[in-house]
Amino acid sequence: MCGVIGYTGRRQAGPMLVSGLRRLEYRGYDSAGIAAHTADGIAVRKLAGRVGGLQGLLEREPLAGTSGIAHTRWATHGAPIAVNAHPHTDCTGRIALVHNGIIENADALRELLQRDGHTFSTQTDTETLTHLIERAEGDNLEARVVAALEHVVGTYGIAVISADEPGKIVVARQGSPLLLGIGDGEYFVASDASAIVEQTRSVVYLDDGDIAVLTPDRYHVMDRDAHVQLREVDDVTWDLAAIELNGYAHFMQKEILEQPETVRSTLRGRLMFEEGCARLNGLNLTLADCADVRRLTIVACGTSWHSGLVGRHIIESLAGIPVTVEYASEYRYGPQLRQPGTLTVAISQSGETADTLEAMRAARAAGSRVIGIVNVVGSTIAREADGGIYLHAGPEIGVASTKAFTSQIVALALLGLYLSESRGLALERRQDFAWRLAQLPALVARALALEPDIRVLAQSLVGQGAGNALYLGRGVNFPVALEGALKLKEISYLHAEGYPAAEMKHGPIALIDEAMPVVFVAPHDEVYPKVLSNMEEVRARGGKIIAITTEGNGDVRRLAEHQLRVPATAPLLSPILTVIPLQLLAYHIAVLRGCDVDRPRNLAKSVTVE
């Protein structure tokens, strides 16, 4: 939510900040703005709308300066209009600030500051910070920022500049991600590495409570008492190509089609075929630790929660350990029971989702060991967890999560295999599962070959003007039905509902008529005959059936108007294949409906507010 970037050095800040902001647009795209140190103090340009608009504004009203800050917004407090766009300034216009996060006591602060004579010009919570810094005492900007933050309750990743200290940027982090980019005679701050990787691959991840001060000549990190903190410089390991479209129309399309490679990358070096086990060094769990695990609690949101539901089936089947899967947002405010032997697994593509992070912290406070299944290296969940599994799927830019979902299931399958070793699962079964996992990249590629058929199906569905769809599945494929429906909803704005196929007759069956497409996720597994009966029930009521099934399955031909066949695999791994046609279907429907696939309305990629 919201992208923050800053630059100080010897080059012109404007073009660099705008190009960085473009990379951060997936975090929010309601409005955009920039502030720079110029010869006359601080100049600000901002508007409602996207970074492209800001670039146009800067061409009309250029801004010359070699240090500055910029922002792309996902609105929380205050409508997405120009006045509420960041950067915000104080009463004098000599301090400018960009912010990602939420100031929870903003109303009380606003009242207090107004009583003190400060004039507010926006409806945002962020503006309180500029006035707090304005009235704070201190010898320099960093001292005033620290003094101001003492009054603040909430989360923030901020970058601040002052006309009195040209070339300096002060940065503070509490609950919202920020990293520094280390260049040669120039420094950056950004919400994530994608914004600066074109300029430098050396980064410093900031921790909560950190204050950083950047000038063209040096940077330092300190705590709130001005004690210098030593922070390691890390290398960004992925290439620029990973965050470019490279000829694809959309990031979502690119990321769907990348899945043979991303699944391979999640598996790389982690399977031991002879031993029938997984090598997961980052977990920091010995076999003896695994033997002590009595239950797993998975916490996650959205698509990651769906992968957790699949993971439950896999882990319970392989390792026989009971698993509960919780919405992180519900779990964190529920009673977290202190149950010895609980291993909590936080699943998050971004590693920054506020609810998942807080759920993980709550679980730890209740005595649980926590591990993270995370894609973004160096993210907060990855760093706070006791251990974990990185997806290594590369940056996911499209707001709708696709390649992270399949890699999360792969990571959960590896975890299941790892845990199963200490639970006495027969060697043969473990070896077989390892081989099945290794075959997945090639099978995913075969599932992707369905794309031309799916495009035709999408054309027919859009042509019929269907406004609703029902997605049904059973067992390990019920979460795939949920995920297929979520993909359609979020990028094409069509209503879709995922349901367990057999539950349909307890209510949703009333919705079925000739106008209702019903997507069945029905690969060949032990519940397949049951799902066929559910198809009969839909068919009997005139519903139009689209079946995602396994190659060679002939029975659905009679029942389904459209059939999409994915290759066979171990039933527990089938979601990695059955979800592919659903991702492609949602993508093509959204494109045909003219939707902005990579930036769906009201959404942001990384949800760092609760």
- Report the interface residues with ligand F6R, using CB under 6 A: 301-304, 348-350, 353, 356, 400-401, 486, 490, 606-607
Which residue, judged by CB position, is nearest to ligand F6R in the bound state? Answer: 302
Q: Could you give the CA distance from residue 309 to residue 482 in angstroms, rounded to a whole number?
A: 10
Q: Which is closer to ligand F6R, CB of 100 or CB of 422?
A: 100
Q: Which is closer to ligand F6R, CB of 451 or CB of 490?
A: 490
41, 83 Cβ separation under 8 angstroms: no
Q: How far is the CB of 302 from ligand F6R (least distance, A)?
A: 2
Q: In what order do the strands lie in the sheet with 517-522?
A: 495-500, 468-473, 517-522, 544-550, 562-566
- Select which of 168, 403, 487, 605 is catalytic: 605
Question: Taking phi first (over 0 means left), then psi (-120 to 50 degrees means alpha), and beta for anything else, what does residue 423 get?
Answer: alpha
2 is catalytic: yes
Residue located via tokens 């779990």: 331
H or E stretch at 147 = helix 141-149
Q: Which is closer to ligand F6R, CB of 459 or CB of 602?
A: 602
Q: With both helix axes pointing from N to C terminus, report the angle between 575-592 and 403-421 in degrees, rounded to the nearest 10.
A: 170
Q: Which is closer to ligand F6R, CB of 31 or CB of 349?
A: 349
Q: Which is closer to ligand F6R, CB of 304 or CB of 422?
A: 304
Distances (CA, A) of 214 to 169, 183, 188, 207: 5, 11, 8, 16
Can you point out the beta strands (E) in 501-539?
517-522
Going by the DSSP 8-state scheme, the letter that residue 228 receives in this structure is: B
Q: How far is the CB of 327 from ligand F6R (least distance, A)?
A: 11
Q: How far is the CB of 607 from ligand F6R (least distance, A)?
A: 5
Structure tokens at 16: 């660099």
Residues 6+ apart with CB under 8 A from 336: 362, 363, 365, 366
Q: Which is closer to ligand F6R, CB of 134 or CB of 352?
A: 352
Q: Cis omega before residue 15 (within 30°)? A: no
Our CA angle for 185, 191, 195, nearest 5°, is 60
Residues 6+ apart with CB under 8 A from 268: 392
Q: How far is the CB of 538 from ligand F6R (least distance, A)?
A: 26
Q: How far is the CB of 238 from ligand F6R (least distance, A)?
A: 17
Q: Which residues pair with 277 in a beta bridge?
A: 272
Q: How far is the CB of 606 from ligand F6R (least distance, A)?
A: 6
Q: Which is closer to ligand F6R, CB of 400 or CB of 531?
A: 400
Q: How far is the CB of 301 from ligand F6R (least distance, A)?
A: 4
> Of 391, 404, 409, 443, whose CA–CA distance to 260 is shortest?
443
Residues 6+ apart with CB under 8 A from 25: 3, 50, 51, 72, 599
Q: Which is closer to ligand F6R, CB of 350 or CB of 492?
A: 350
Q: Could you give the CA distance from residue 74 to residue 199 in angstroms, rounded to a whole number?
A: 25
Q: Could you give the CA distance from residue 338 to residue 336 in angstroms, rounded to a whole number?
A: 6
Q: Could you give the CA distance from residue 585 to residue 131 in angstroms, rounded to a whole number?
A: 49
605 is catalytic: yes
Question: How many other C-beta atoms lie within 10 A of the C-beta of residue 435?
Answer: 13
Q: How far is the CB of 250 from ligand F6R (least distance, A)?
A: 14
- Select which of 2, 277, 301, 595 is catalytic: 2
- Whether the CA torsion 461, 462, 466, 468 is positive or negative: it is positive
Active-site annotation, residues: 2, 605
